[in-house]
Structure 1
Amino acid sequence: MHPSARKTFNEDFTPQKYQAFLNRLNSGLHTDVPFRVAETPVFMTADFTNKLIAAGDDIIDTILQPGFKELTERAIPDKWRVANETGHPHFIALDFGICKNADGHIVPQLIELQGFPSLYGFQVHLGDTYREVFEIPADETVYFNELDKDSYMYLLKKTILGPFRPDEVVLMDVNAPEQKTAVDFYLTQQYLGIPVVSLSDLQQLGNQLFYETGGEKKRIRRIYNRLIFDEIDGDDTIFDRVVDIRRPLDVEWITHPNWFYRISKFTMPFLKGDYIPQTHFLHQISQIPADLENYVLKPLFSFAGQGVIIDVTENDIRNITDPENWILQQKVNYEPVVQAPDGGVKAEIRLLYLWPDGDAKPTLAINLARLSRGKMIGVRYNKDFNWVGGTIAFMPR
């Protein structure tokens, strides 16, 4: 990581400045940010940034290859397959841990990937607020591909709105105002002018969808989808009470829900490269590795780290009744590269791509970062720590 930028930041850091940062971050938002935001951004070197970009390019090449849809058909659970799938995903997120390889070099290692939107609105606000309060120099940026805030916003609008008016596009999630990511929803509404709706707000007439505003029904042409089916999986009667969005409807999906499954842990065994840990479908393993301490066991159809077995035993593997729905992945060892006042902190970088209709391939646009002192990256593993939580990475322009 960038030693001089880190030294300058830490020398100028005070708890009072961090509180001022949080106050500025929450000012004017729909509600205060409900998750922990870290005291610091990540400062990446040009060399590490280039490694990240190269790693991302290799993965995108796999997604772009002919036959990718056929390769990933099994990834979509039958009960959650949605009609009218698009030709490509509009959002791709790649999560990389910052690690040290056998030669002692700091390198990215792929942890997970998803064909689903992330905090594309919130990260703009977060980066701006770090820059303003902590006086991050102008030669450091959170954007890739020579984007700045204006060109990024243009790309975001092109991706989400396409040819439609903002009032014809809705951001939709189940119980949207109650989601932890609602802060991103309402910032997106502020930036793009699109309404935020819950699944129960959708109204169906024929094969068309509508929402109500000011006593008037408005036609929905596009859904900016933020709903993950895992959240409603336990409710077998939900589509008796709300619109069954799996059916053929006269509406466009940004991005289509099937891509959440196609670009996911399911894709990992098909990826190869220096920055990809060895990953195998469990049912295709002929012999259990002797060094299981170097592997992690993950269910394909879960999110937010649920069901992951970190300290794997042979019994764990033998007790799994549906091995085709699990992967065994080589464990990566995070290097505590971010220097906090009291020692090193582990970090993960999420590359965020935008792929509007009409573009030949996705554009790497912005990033998200997370800091951790716990066994895994994530809120539940980092309670009662400081210098952990959600953040963003700056890199040299």
Structure 2
Amino acid sequence: MVPALRAAYNAAFTQEKFDSYLHDLNSKYQPLQFRMAETPVFVPKDFSRKIFDACESIVDVILQPGFKEQTDRAIPENYAVKNENSYPHFIAFDFGICENAEGILEPQLIEMQGFPSLFAYEVFLDDVYDKHFKIPEHYSSYLGGLNRETYLSLLRKIILGNEQPENVILLEIFPQQQKTNIDFYCTEEYLDVKMVCVTELIKKGQQLYYLNKGKETLIKRIYNRIIFDELQQQAPEVRDKAKILFDELEVEWVTHPNWFYRISKFTLPLIQHPNIPETRYLNEITTIPSDLENYVLKPLFSFAGQGVVIDVTRADIQQIPDPENWILQKKVNYAAVIKTPDEPAKSEIRIFYFWEDGAPRPRPSNNLARLSKGKMIGVRFNKDKTWTGGSFALFEQ
């Protein structure tokens, strides 16, 4: 992406330096549950401007009157949680680094979520990376004019609101067992917000409590990390315990679970932008495109890439019994643009947006990146490959 920085980084890279970097990442909390890539992604200003223009166009749609009515159907039956607020505290936008028909690199939106990401871990990652490799001058992982201190201050303000840390929890399903548990440990350290499993909640009337050092402590605010779809894959006793989350509760959510569905694949057909692939609800397509090789078929209510049909055929479309729950999306051409010691890598960049109470709009704050040499981004497509996995992007300021 930035040839001079890429050449200098690759020339200076050593396995010993990378191993030392990994040691620090793995030794402070718990070992990482995912592979770390050997490099960050260097992003020039002209490319980042296109990313943020696309993000802001999506925010414009979210702010339009009637957005909630348009997206009510996005919330699966029996998944709606009460006391939804008027906006999502957090949004994550995933962009692929792609190549257009003219061979020019451009970002293309892959997915988005009204849901948190690895917000605290990225601070730790940035710190450790800078210790071992040094972040180039005029580049930063922090966005929107933020730095380490102001980023953490904003994150703390949004998650805690007006409450004390002991009255705020990070809620997950068996958090210590999650692949993203490194972020939960970082959250505990930076914000003093404890991770709590849904099975540990105590309900009294409309109030929730948890045991904090053996003492029942009132929960006033939930930093939600539960993907509610995943509750249905749990043992019956876990599902039964989680039913209390659908009751009328005296608690504030950050971000409210309903926004996970409202800002998702479901929203893509509502947006038109050069850096957002053409997307249509399958049930609204009257004529199946003749060039299906240029499309991908995605279920609306399946996550983490499950159920996606990459090589779409007419038969795939015709046999779908519920086309209202699927989208047909124009394929994007990922560019193998990250030079590595062997084959070049592809990349996706996730942009974090934070929405502070009382602010008219959310703002960009930080990012993460993933590198791949497989057909798709993800661990199962990159077995036995190096210079792939989790990372972050450094944006020219």
**Bin of the TM-score, shorter chain as denominator length:** over 0.9
Could you list the per-position Cα deviations for residues 244-278 of structure 1 after superposition, in whole angstroms to 9, with x for gaps in the alignment?
Answer: 20111000000000000000000010110110111
- Residues 354 and 363 in structure 1, CA contact (< 8 A), matched pair in contact too: yes
Correspondence list, 1:248-259, <5 A: 248-259=248-259
Instruction: Give the Å deviation of 1:301.
Output: 0.6
Asked if 1:74 corresponds to 2:73, the answer is yes
Q: Which residue of 2 aligns with 1:182?
A: 181
Q: Which residue of 2 aligns with 1:268?
A: 268
- Residues 199 and 238 in structure 2, CA contact (< 8 A), matched pair in contact too: no
Q: Which residue of 1 aligns with 2:356?
A: 356
SS in structure 2 of the partner of residue 339 of structure 1: coil
Instruction: Give the Å deviation of 1:175.
Output: 1.0
In the alignment, the residues of structure 2 paired with residue 234 and residue 11 of structure 1 have an alpha-carbon distance, to the nearest angstrom, of: 46
In the alignment, the residues of structure 2 paired with residue 131 and residue 62 of structure 1 have an alpha-carbon distance, to the nearest angstrom, of: 37
Correspondence list, 1:135-146, <5 A: 135-146=134-145
- Residues 110 and 276 in structure 1, CA contact (< 8 A), matched pair in contact too: yes
Q: Which residue of 2 aligns with 1:133?
A: 132
1:99 counterpart letter in structure 2 = C
In the alignment, the residues of structure 1 paired with residue 242 and residue 273 of structure 2 have an alpha-carbon distance, to the nearest angstrom, of: 44
Instruction: Give the Å deviation of 1:239.
Output: 4.5
Could you list the per-position Cα deviations for residues 336-362 of structure 1 after superposition, in whole angstroms to 9, with x for gaps in the alignment?
Answer: 111111131101111101112111111
Could you list the per-position Cα deviations for residues 151-200 of structure 1 after superposition, in whole angstroms to 9, with x for gaps in the alignment?
Answer: 10111011101111111100000111111111101101100001110000
In the alignment, the residues of structure 1 paired with residue 225 and residue 233 of structure 2 have an alpha-carbon distance, to the nearest angstrom, of: 18
2:42 counterpart letter in structure 1 = F
Q: Which residue of 2 aligns with 1:3?
A: 3
Instruction: Give the Å deviation of 1:240.
Output: 3.0
1:167 counterpart letter in structure 2 = E
Asked if 1:341 corresponds to 2:341, the answer is yes
State the TM-score, normalizing by the size of structure 2. 0.98
In the alignment, the residues of structure 2 paired with residue 215 and residue 237 of structure 1 have an alpha-carbon distance, to the nearest angstrom, of: 23
Q: Which moved more, 1:335-344 or 1:321-330?
A: 335-344
SS in structure 1 of the partner of residue 73 of structure 2: helix
In the alignment, the residues of structure 1 paired with residue 262 and residue 123 of structure 2 have an alpha-carbon distance, to the nearest angstrom, of: 27
- Residues 203 and 244 in structure 2, CA contact (< 8 A), matched pair in contact too: no
SS in structure 1 of the partner of residue 339 of structure 2: strand
- Residues 119 and 181 in structure 1, CA contact (< 8 A), matched pair in contact too: yes
In the alignment, the residues of structure 2 paired with residue 214 and residue 349 of structure 1 have an alpha-carbon distance, to the nearest angstrom, of: 39
Give the direction of change, closer, same or farther, for the CA distance of 1:267–1:242 in structure 2 (3 Å limit): closer
In the alignment, the residues of structure 2 paired with residue 162 and residue 373 of structure 1 have an alpha-carbon distance, to the nearest angstrom, of: 41
For structure 1, the 5+ residue unaligned runs are none
1:154 counterpart letter in structure 2 = S
2:260 counterpart letter in structure 1 = F
Instruction: Give the Å deviation of 1:243.
Output: 5.0
1:216 counterpart letter in structure 2 = K
Instruction: Give the Å deviation of 1:241.
Output: 3.5
Q: Which residue of 1 aligns with 2:304?
A: 304
SS in structure 1 of the partner of residue 46 of structure 2: helix
2:92 counterpart letter in structure 1 = A
SS in structure 1 of the partner of residue 244 of structure 2: coil
- Residues 278 and 329 in structure 1, CA contact (< 8 A), matched pair in contact too: yes
In the alignment, the residues of structure 2 paired with residue 216 and residue 184 of structure 1 have an alpha-carbon distance, to the nearest angstrom, of: 25
1:114 counterpart letter in structure 2 = Q
In the alignment, the residues of structure 2 paired with residue 169 and residue 333 of structure 1 have an alpha-carbon distance, to the nearest angstrom, of: 43
Instruction: Give the Å deviation of 1:238.
Output: 4.2
- Residues 222 and 254 in structure 1, CA contact (< 8 A), matched pair in contact too: yes
Correspondence list, 1:194-213, <5 A: 194-213=193-212
1:73 counterpart letter in structure 2 = D
- Residues 200 and 243 in structure 1, CA contact (< 8 A), matched pair in contact too: no
Report how many residues are paired. 396
Instruction: Give the Å deviation of 1:137.
Output: 2.2
2:333 counterpart letter in structure 1 = N
Q: Which residue of 2 aligns with 1:163?
A: 162
In the alignment, the residues of structure 1 paired with residue 392 and residue 211 of structure 2 have an alpha-carbon distance, to the nearest angstrom, of: 36
In the alignment, the residues of structure 2 paired with residue 284 and residue 84 of structure 1 have an alpha-carbon distance, to the nearest angstrom, of: 32
Q: Which moved more, 1:73-82 or 1:132-141?
A: 132-141
Instruction: Give the Å deviation of 1:306.
Output: 0.6
Instruction: Give the Å deviation of 1:61.
Output: 1.0
In the alignment, the residues of structure 1 paired with residue 215 and residue 352 of structure 2 have an alpha-carbon distance, to the nearest angstrom, of: 36
- Residues 202 and 243 in structure 1, CA contact (< 8 A), matched pair in contact too: no
- Residues 351 and 368 in structure 2, CA contact (< 8 A), matched pair in contact too: yes
State the TM-score, normalizing by the size of structure 1. 0.98
Q: Which residue of 1 aligns with 2:232?
A: 233
In the alignment, the residues of structure 2 paired with residue 214 and residue 188 of structure 1 have an alpha-carbon distance, to the nearest angstrom, of: 18
In the alignment, the residues of structure 1 paired with residue 308 and residue 130 of structure 2 have an alpha-carbon distance, to the nearest angstrom, of: 36
Identity, in percent, stands at 52
- Residues 80 and 258 in structure 2, CA contact (< 8 A), matched pair in contact too: yes
Instruction: Give the Å deviation of 1:25.
Output: 1.3
Instruction: Give the Å deviation of 1:136.
Output: 2.2
